[in-house]
Structure 1
Amino acid sequence: MKVLLVGDFQYGSGMTVYMMNTYKQLTEQGVTVECLSYSGKYDFEKETDALGWKTHYVTRVGQNPIKHWRDWARFCKRNSNSYDIIHFNYSSSWNFLPVLFAHWFTDAKVVVQSHNTDYSNPIDSKFVKFTIDWVNALGRHVLAKIADLKIGVSNESLVWMFGSGSHGIVLKNGIKLSHFSFSQKARSVLRKSLGISDSTRVVGMVGVLTERKNPIFSLKLFERFHSSQPDSHLVIIGRGGLQQKLEKEIQQEELESFVTLINHTSAMNEWYSALDVLIFPSLFEGFGFVPLEAQASGLYVIASDQIPRDVMITSSIAELSLKSTDKWLDVLDRYLSNPLSNRGIVSARNIQQIDKAGYSISSSANVLWGLFRELVATRGKV
């Protein structure tokens, strides 16, 4: 079976984490993978090359929509018989033309997977918002009609992508659970690299630095906590358009010695061990890999109540309304005043619970493999 994996392939994207982890499992089942990136980013080129996954690129739609769609039409016509499945990973339905081209110009089965419950980026202009909403509604109708398989990472994401009347499959976002086991060694090494002691209370925020992830909220919350608890540190891992705004705020509040910004790391599992509390104040999410990974590490998590409840699996996570910063501060203070002395035990317990709930990468990959086999059976080959 040969699959074209379509996605953003950029650092900080939960969608990309999902795709890479899942397809590494599927290649063990004999799936041949090629990739197509629509983000204009080449972040994962070395990794896909090392895996032997040929990667194609199209012009980013925001850079030049006409060229983006022309690139897609030409690609589909050139590769009309190249793939058994074309697997689109999208955050919204307004850019539906590439899916339509795959449906029209190839004999591949078309799979569309929804990874969000709103647009990836905020839209300030009322006119642009009205126009995008109209096109997005049209896209829902088109995708619901032409997709051979409709998948969502949550019920909410299915409705967002395909409409409330459309039927699809919720596929749990699995992670490699053992990879996120708590490590005392990693904790000691990374805290030493920050120049802090084991008694320092470390708060973490992980995600692309965009309005949707709400990093300014995280920084403001830490400012208030730090003013009463000076032996504390904030680590923000991610990069994006709000980075300069964050840096300016850090300088203005003279927090340079107490806040560390990390653009990207491939050792996210180790950083979870170094933290005491993870805050996840997203305005919306399709699912939420980061709080799931953090729970596997036995880490306290405070999350926005705007993310799907599917991720609230263990007793290590609390959900709070973004309307009450005081409540966030109270819970943060309570967690950090009672640090866990048995992180390893909590991590092992949480991993068992997450596995039982069906969120291991092997479980979710096996489900997807079964769905793919059913699809391609009609084409006479697996």
Structure 2
Amino acid sequence: MKAQNLAPAILCPFVAYALPNARRHGCGRPPPSATATSSTTALSQTSSQVAGYPTLVSSSGQAITPGSTVLSTDLSTSSAIPTETLSTTVASDIVTVVPSSTATLESTTAEASTSTRASQIVSGLYSEATQISFKVPATEQCGNNDILTLPGMPWVVANSMYNADQMVGSQCTNFESILEATDGTREVVWNSVTDIDLVDSTKDLCKGYTNIGVGVNLNKKLSAITSIPAFFQWSRTNTTEFRGSNVFDFITAPTPSDTESTATSEFMLWIRIWGGQVPIGYAEGPVATLDLFGASWKLYEGQNPASGVTVRSLLVDEGFDGVFQGDLKDWLDAMAQKGYIADSDYVTVGNAGSEVFYGSSVMNATVALDIKT
């Protein structure tokens, strides 16, 4: 059954707040290039990739990690980036997910099969969830602004292709089913089917965001939120070169219901990238490094040119191998500790999904995302 287009204005308030805003979403950028000067070394991107991220090399052939795009030749002017270790909450009923170079959860033509991935301890409750009867049947959504409401569930399924007018091809975000774990935790099973031509003039333009949006307990102060348990499991098969990313995207504001003004802040947690996509602010280098969710991350910040809003993105050093679990409250608390948001600020948007640029790719995914107060 084809879902109908639903405009945010006709949805109930909690659903409207969950919808990704086309003007606000902090889509990433292609790998940057730098111009050589007397104090810097020019970089060029190679076709080889490590852990799903671009490998950058200097003109002398020296490999450079994704943490910086320009290396200073005067080491006396470089400054250390602070590293922090933050506490995280892990469920007691756990299984260990270990990446394997011979049997991975993903198949892709754009990455080396020997790439190293981040491994993580994941709650067995999520993986043991079983399908339950649900009133909404499996639904295909291929319209450029298709949104499916799931009655009784805390989510909407959104195919938000806000740059569809510059897209050649199609993107579908399809609902499959609902799962339930033994403790009552619900999960949504969905898939994303991308078939977008690589057009040179628009290859660096993010075409849209295929995602699961949260609609319950938004517009609560950060201090009133006790936890944001998140689970994102996926398998992706690329049949052509594909550029995109899997991210969590949250917006906070000093006042409730504000999702658009320049008073808001956008925070993105980048758990996997393909095709060398990098966050806004990547060219300026990281402003901090953090240890969180059992992995190392670099923090980038920059202004979204379309909205004027500052976007702060945590990019994991090694992409997660098809599964992520964590309490996202730890992430937002870390941003508050750095002074980027206040405990009195409101969480007005929260979602999990994939940014897409181009390529033929199918992602099968399961998401559990909830804001608890």
Answer 1 or 2: which has greater helix percent.
1
**What range is the shorter-chain TM-score in?**
under 0.3
TM-score by structure 2 length? 0.23
> Which structure features the higher share of strand residues?
2
**Which is bigger in relative contact order (C-alpha 8 A, separation at least 6)?**
2
TM-score, L = length of structure 1: 0.23
Specify the structure having the higher radius of gyration (Cα).
1
